[in-house]
Structure 1
């Protein structure tokens, strides 16, 4: 017997004894099991290293190119192209290479070498890109293409080398066709599992603890260690003789393949095309799931790490399971088709879970104890419920396809071809999903489309197994029919998502719904109506209305509203322009509702660049035209859709004022706008005397993180100060030059009625009150920041720390901390007469401004200083009365306010406050008198009209009250305007009490038209019909109300009562059971128990 025969004989004995080895023949005799384990361990580590590199390189290139969808897609495309081409190239070369382990080691060594050079390479990239952009000022398309080219060139070398690792090890481990699925599946599973570890390591630990570049160097050292072990130890176990011996046994390879498959180039090309399409579909799922999960579960760096890890874990599990089962099953194109169909069905089944995810997150939060790790682990379970079942089947596809596609002894080449085709598909799939399908048809429709494409891939695969369609077997045709029917049923049961629930922000404020049942949770969102919902290129933007409250959300996080946020939004625009006496050029990073832009355009500026990364935000801003005064169409405004950091990096034009109002830093990528490097770029873009205004929060932020932002900011700007609109929001002002506030500039600004109108509802009626927003100056900030961390691109502490404080109540703690460092009450002021320390009007205005912000310690100190200047001044009496009113000291406030009025310091607000106090004391007539005087002095203020209407209604003057409520409805919006809903509700109640049923019906119809999401109008319609004894109509209206508000028990309770009146005890009992089901807390109520008992009997 020749040498080759002995090898084949030994191979058969090994298979028959079912010993688990990774190689056969001569190599088996030489490689011990520990060495085998070492090799596959290396491939596991290699997978982890690859994902760490991907996370870091995407992050760093995002800082250079921007984090727009276009830039990110260019980077991902370059990364994936390198992997695919590397697999294709080395797949061909490895088959002729005598030592695949040596080749594998060299590939790992090349990656290591490149990783050590990356810090230098990335510096060169930034200089190259910025230089190109500044020199040629390319169009958007040219700039995007240039980013793609740079990404490809920069990432090509390492990804090209990474792409060759799987073909190299596949060639070494796979020695027969029978082992193909098993060995490839196991290798692919271990490498992907390593990727899961890499995602978790980089997303939770490495970048935060040791830094970005340090993580790259550490990862490179792991690659280097693999190289050294492979080159100087493992290569001794492979010899050219063993490989040659293996090459002498090609026979059994083909025996495994599907006999019915046409063995020609067309079939093989068709198979590669199907596998490429399959790769593209996988990206439809990954992109779609990530986008919707970011809305439902949040978009912190931890959340994205959990999502990606879940997706990869499913693939790893699927590949591993298939590798185990492959030796016990017949693998053919029908197997491939079934895997595709199973992926599709399970993906469709998961669609209906997304609406429930916000509720289950709230339940998860209830048991988390606030632990970020518990919460993220819970997110993994929620993500897994949707992603794991389909990705497990998806993970099995690679090994299955390789087994089918394998037809020669060139294992490496075939693995490389398959890997290249799949990777090529993922590139086009990600681009198609992000740029075309999501904006065109939406996320849910794209996921449904993906499922159908899976099925068609499966159908084509089955057809490829026969020479012609008419030669398909009955079993194959039945399988094809079952696949289509199964996906059709899944599609039919897929319900449209409730965007109001998805964008409810439950993942940001789960405390609001703690302890709520699922029905109660849904009911709490029942009065939200969707005005706008758009799945943009990078984010999902929605505008929801709850009665008169309108809020814009980006990925479920409220970014702007017409309520509490208004003053902060406008103050961000006014503050730097009131500090800078002659600003002409302004840049705003982050548009939101465009309220900040409206504030800026109220000043005599000449040019404003409004930079917004997501175009859908600009589209949504039209729902806030009352607030933004249509400023987006101001001819001085240039709207730029771009990454704000990248825009300032590339464009050298200087500005007088730069305003940065990003989202909260706990959201992934946002913390880059709070980094030292970004502040240094902003500093370079300032004209002499220029001012930076940076928003930051005190809520959901630890004191250490707050100090870190302030420290980072103050390290860059020599002159800084800290201001506040209301205590949850702060503004950092930075400049290269000393800052003095010119009081004459403030006085001139207050002559502008628009500016005055923005400030007056917030206790700043005069320019002196502006200084109540000041908190800290240079020396105080530097003292506060001592010992704090610095947030930088290499040490991105804020991005990883901020999510840990998301659910903490930190406002009071942070404000108290800031106040500890407050040594001066005022910034440097010039041209104020009398000077600040002698100016009683200033001190009185400070009292009112501080009291509005609940800064009572500061308000009392300002009042003390006013007292020292002139205790008999009417302004002092008013300020003292206002402060006591805010402190609920009504008995002290009353005489002080009266004395101020008597001393000719009469204001509408003084009368309004007296009216409120009189109402509290039960003095209804006096309250009406005071509200009437307030209304006479300021007839355009809706708050006074509403208060006067309430007083008239209480006094029984219903006609007067009705007219006042009607007048208020017609008044334009102001920040302090009461709710139109409340006014309309009072009008309906009054007309029903007076028996004016016809007028009441028209008002109810108006209520339903304006507020269709509110059950109130429907309930009043039912009550109106019942008051007229029109029971049949009442029943019809109430049944319709139950249909419109299925989670609200109130209509069911009314139905139970109506059915009982009509003598239908069974229907009444069923309605009561629905009441208890919707709200289990009612089941023990005596009236419910009694009614259930009576109707049952």
Structure 2
């Protein structure tokens, strides 16, 4: 007889795909939301997962009992989906309200760190617990309803549901990060999932029009063993078995993600690709087992084999992983650094993740249906579905905690995976032995044990070479550190793997998951590493500005050099350094005396916690907060560059407090930096930027009033004097020389790159887009080149001046303007004819080339100059002017552009006379004359002149910066409209015009 429900079966299975899709969107997006509240460390994400799984377990356990009394489980399922949808639509509003109240009122009132932690985790649990409990009801309700409607095919139905739900979840994980987050952000993703819940609810309600048959009665105590763990050995075996299996499976997931992060990078995209690979394997296992579960005469024997094979597959993943670094290295070298190349890189890393995860995940997908079928066949009734699901979920929570807090920190990644595999194999062998009733089955048991033992012995011998693990292959394609490098420290911590490496030259670097976070030159007399001025100036700049810096907070320990520098000032009474990974603090001890105050000074306090949560729980505010997190392309780090974070920071500062933000200008583009600056601007009254080396930007910001002036003498009374001198900084002038922007210019830069909105916790622009710019090795060139903008730009805007003649530029090659200052002084001395100048002596011919070519371009005075000679001379004049005027004060330009000594031409074409007159005014810094002669130059120099092409952009920029210097911003706009249409600027001069136009509307 044909079942009356036959036509609805495919539809019900299909809507479970949508349900799984929405469910994984919730899990993914909740992880982002609660990560903002709890901190973005890996263990925090795992606890979010534990809350998620715990709620689902509670829901499944409750529905296992209550659902037996309901007559239409599918329609009950529809009601649950609708309620989940309502909660999904309301979640963002509820979250923002609760988080705001917690940080503004509750946490500051608690005071005690323990009370704060209890409050945070309790609030986090309550935020998602209702939805997770409801989600936990959905699988038992749908599966119970289908089994009632289609009796006799429980295995097929359970496997089919497990497949459809899991395949929907795998797709949901990818859609969440690749489609929803970029287009609608976290709030839009929650709304999307809520709408999908309504669609599922409506379809399920419609398809379940007919009531279900009465459920099959469970075996009672009168005709079978009891249904309690104490009295029923089968129930005890199944529930403990599924719990341990769930624990092992989720331990695998945590361990694999940590392992793969070192090969492919810790990006948001990589995480979701790995998660999707794991869930896809589970889905395929569910698809396979739907045909096998009803055919097997012993579900427990089959699940025993699945458990053994899952453990062996997990051990085999170590052999695959050993080659992952080579595969990623090949991808990095073979693929173009383009959008298409990045897409292929993601596809390649997904393939690697599939190769590692899918085999064991496949077997994991078979176990829950088989354990459930074993109980159903034993007459436990549909209640068994919820009980197995609940115990499996509780085991998953156990696996997450065990992996993060015990297995990985104590044993390391490889042995942690081996232990999880042993758990699976142990379950499988126990079940096979229990089902072995004859010699043949005993032989199979022995074969299974032999295979597992062999796999374990081989897996333990798989090399996990720290030289490879710490290579950072995902950045440069090299699969190992340099042969002469030596590992000083390597540890798999709770949130990341930390390595410390020393080079033959004596430099030491500390890295997280292969990404270098800090480097220091340890040998005296060796030029400092480029990281050192960044870490030192992050402390020195605010110390030189703040009149009384008593309490300081530092976000991110790194090498410890910033904390060490802060403690070099006797005015500082306490420095709290907040670091999320304890292994980072332990590894940085390798830097020894270079950072010793961070460890030995009694004023230093190192806190292992999330920065925002820790700050909120402190009742005392700070005079200085320094934010030096890791790179913003790393998953979760973007929250430390968000507008919500910048709005929070001023609440933690005293009235005259200062905030310092490090921003990388490498592996990032201008619009992404603009998204950071646009996020930062509303929270602060004034800010300025310094470039510490080639591409590290330090922004000092004040939320209350203008920034104080630098008082470098404050730093020269103690040990900081020698430490700054080591970096070539001994005076206020040398420190100010590294200033590249004030607040108005930074806002103008952000305004010219407003294609991306301000980075936000809820629209994570950085987390989504910075991984691509890292892959493409993009540089925010406009900011990198700010300090070498040609001619008068920065000086006219009163941002910085060239070093005076009495201050020598440092010989340390970290900062381009100092290198260019040395060159400019040598060229000027050569043009003046001062061959005895120390900078001229011993210079390579290449350095002389500009002045040699300039002299050669000047024909004999009094003769007619040909067009070709005019062209060459115009080009050489601009070259040497750009190489000298920006970097030399007027006294060093005497004999160069002021009363030049390198030529004595009294007779020359008028356009050249005007050009030399303009260069003279620029060299003298006489801005009234600069403006007037530049206007005259543009008015009178004919289009046919060779000089027009080279110097017209210079003349226009001269006029605009002279007006800007006097804050005549309306004149800047009108001049740009009147004169700009006739001048074709490009390169740096076009940038200057764009910046000035944007500044004028500030």
TM-score range, shorter chain: 0.7 to 0.9
Residue by residue, what CA displacement relative to the aligned partner does 1:794-853 show, whole Å, maximum 9, x if unpaired? 111111010011133434734466466994349979xxxxxx97xx96366486589752
CA distance in 2, matches of 1:357, 1:566: 33
Shift of 1:649: 3.3
One of 665, 673, 688 as aligned partner of 2:632: 665
Q: Which residue does 1:275 correspond to in 2?
A: 242
**Contact 1:769–1:849 under 8 Å retained in 2:** no
Shift of 1:70: 5.1
CA 1:891 to 1:211, structure 2 compared with 1: closer, same or farther past 3 Å?
closer
Q: Which residue does 2:549 correspond to in 1?
A: 583
Shift of 1:277: 0.8
One of 586, 591, 613 as aligned partner of 1:646: 613
Please say if 1:537 is aligned against 2:494. yes
Please say if 1:294 is aligned against 2:261. yes
Shift of 1:183: 0.8
**Contact 1:279–1:423 under 8 Å retained in 2:** yes
- Mapping for residues 206-285 of structure 1, pairs under 5 Å: 206-231=180-205, 233-236=206-209, 238-239=210-211, 242-244=212-214, 247=216, 265-285=232-252
Please say if 1:401 is aligned against 2:390. no
CA distance in 2, matches of 1:881, 1:722: 33
Q: Which residue does 1:39 correspond to in 2?
A: 12
- Mapping for residues 772-783 of structure 1, pairs under 5 Å: 772-783=737-748
Please say if 1:551 is aligned against 2:521. no
CA 1:727 to 1:411, structure 2 compared with 1: closer, same or farther past 3 Å?
farther
Shift of 1:452: 1.3
Shift of 1:700: 0.7
- Mapping for residues 601-616 of structure 1, pairs under 5 Å: 601-604=567-570, 605-616=572-583
Q: Which residue does 1:446 correspond to in 2?
A: 416
CA distance in 2, matches of 1:663, 1:126: 24
**Contact 2:111–2:619 under 8 Å retained in 1:** no
Please say if 1:392 is aligned against 2:369. no
**Contact 1:46–1:194 under 8 Å retained in 2:** yes
CA RMSD, Structure 1 to Structure 2 (Å): 3.3
**Contact 2:677–2:746 under 8 Å retained in 1:** yes
Instruction: Answer with 552-561 or 804-813: which moved more.
Output: 804-813
**Contact 1:301–1:667 under 8 Å retained in 2:** yes
Shift of 1:82: 1.0
Q: Which residue does 2:54 correspond to in 1?
A: 81
Structure 2 unaligned regions, length at least 5: 521-528, 853-1002
Please say if 1:179 is aligned against 2:153. yes
Q: Which residue does 1:749 correspond to in 2?
A: 715
Q: Which residue does 1:1028 correspond to in 2?
A: none
CA distance in 2, matches of 1:809, 1:446: 35
Q: Which residue does 1:1019 correspond to in 2?
A: none
- Mapping for residues 197-212 of structure 1, pairs under 5 Å: 197-212=171-186
**Contact 2:810–2:818 under 8 Å retained in 1:** no
**Contact 1:843–1:865 under 8 Å retained in 2:** no
Residue by residue, what CA displacement relative to the aligned partner does 1:1026-1083 show, whole Å, maximum 9, x if unpaired? xxxxxxxxxxxxxxxxxxxxxxxxxxxxxxxxxxxxxxxxxxxxxxxxxxxxxxxxxx
Residue by residue, what CA displacement relative to the aligned partner does 1:180-234 show, whole Å, maximum 9, x if unpaired? 2111011011101111011101122211211111110111011012223333x22
CA distance in 2, matches of 1:195, 1:103: 22
Please say if 1:801 is aligned against 2:769. yes
Partner SS, residue 291 of structure 1: helix
CA distance in 2, matches of 1:812, 1:202: 28
One of 842, 864, 884 as aligned partner of 2:804: 842
**Contact 2:376–2:382 under 8 Å retained in 1:** no
Partner SS, residue 722 of structure 1: strand
One of 680, 689, 702 as aligned partner of 2:647: 680
Shift of 1:791: 0.4
Q: Which residue does 1:572 correspond to in 2?
A: 538
Structure 1 unaligned regions, length at least 5: 1-9, 12-24, 467-471, 514-520, 830-835, 894-1097
Shift of 1:738: 4.3
Q: Paired residues, what number?
A: 823
One of 438, 443, 447 as aligned partner of 1:482: 447
Shift of 1:658: 0.8
One of 76, 79, 84 as aligned partner of 1:111: 84
**Contact 2:540–2:715 under 8 Å retained in 1:** no
One of 455, 459, 484 as aligned partner of 1:527: 484
**Contact 1:91–1:416 under 8 Å retained in 2:** yes
One of 23, 27, 32 as aligned partner of 1:59: 32
CA 1:134 to 1:296, structure 2 compared with 1: closer, same or farther past 3 Å?
same
CA 1:158 to 1:473, structure 2 compared with 1: closer, same or farther past 3 Å?
same
**Contact 2:542–2:660 under 8 Å retained in 1:** yes
Please say if 1:598 is aligned against 2:564. yes
Shift of 1:160: 1.0
**Contact 1:78–1:152 under 8 Å retained in 2:** yes
Shift of 1:784: 1.0
CA distance in 1, matches of 2:851, 2:712: 33
Partner SS, residue 551 of structure 1: strand
Partner SS, residue 310 of structure 1: helix
One of 450, 454, 458 as aligned partner of 1:493: 458
Q: Which residue does 1:924 correspond to in 2?
A: none
CA distance in 1, matches of 2:309, 2:98: 44
Partner SS, residue 282 of structure 2: helix
Partner SS, residue 164 of structure 1: helix
CA distance in 2, matches of 1:692, 1:791: 18
Partner SS, residue 95 of structure 1: helix
CA 1:877 to 1:542, structure 2 compared with 1: closer, same or farther past 3 Å?
same
One of 378, 384, 404 as aligned partner of 1:434: 404
- Mapping for residues 153-164 of structure 1, pairs under 5 Å: 153-164=126-137
Q: Which residue does 1:832 correspond to in 2?
A: none
CA distance in 2, matches of 1:161, 1:883: 79
Shift of 1:887: 7.4
Shift of 1:556: 1.2
**Contact 1:709–1:790 under 8 Å retained in 2:** yes
CA distance in 1, matches of 2:844, 2:388: 76
CA 1:777 to 1:891, structure 2 compared with 1: closer, same or farther past 3 Å?
closer
Shift of 1:326: 3.6
**Contact 2:687–2:707 under 8 Å retained in 1:** no
Shift of 1:640: 1.0
Shift of 1:410: 6.7
CA 1:224 to 1:885, structure 2 compared with 1: closer, same or farther past 3 Å?
farther
CA distance in 2, matches of 1:814, 1:532: 38
Please say if 1:810 is aligned against 2:778. yes
Q: Which residue does 2:385 correspond to in 1?
A: 415
Partner SS, residue 406 of structure 1: helix
**Contact 1:355–1:498 under 8 Å retained in 2:** no
Shift of 1:243: 1.5
Which one has a larger percent helix, Structure 1 or Structure 2?
Answer: 1
Residue by residue, what CA displacement relative to the aligned partner does 1:451-489 show, whole Å, maximum 9, x if unpaired? 1111211122234447xxxxx422232222222211111
Partner SS, residue 366 of structure 2: helix
CA distance in 1, matches of 2:590, 2:356: 34
**Contact 1:318–1:393 under 8 Å retained in 2:** yes
Shift of 1:652: 4.3
Please say if 1:376 is aligned against 2:346. yes
**Contact 1:741–1:828 under 8 Å retained in 2:** no
Shift of 1:530: 1.7
Q: Please report the TM-score for the alignment, with normalisation by the length of structure 2.
A: 0.77
Q: Which residue does 2:724 correspond to in 1?
A: 759
**Contact 2:308–2:429 under 8 Å retained in 1:** no
Shift of 1:349: 1.5
Partner SS, residue 701 of structure 1: coil
Q: Which residue does 2:925 correspond to in 1?
A: none
CA distance in 2, matches of 1:64, 1:886: 60
CA distance in 1, matches of 2:808, 2:673: 26
CA distance in 1, matches of 2:24, 2:77: 18
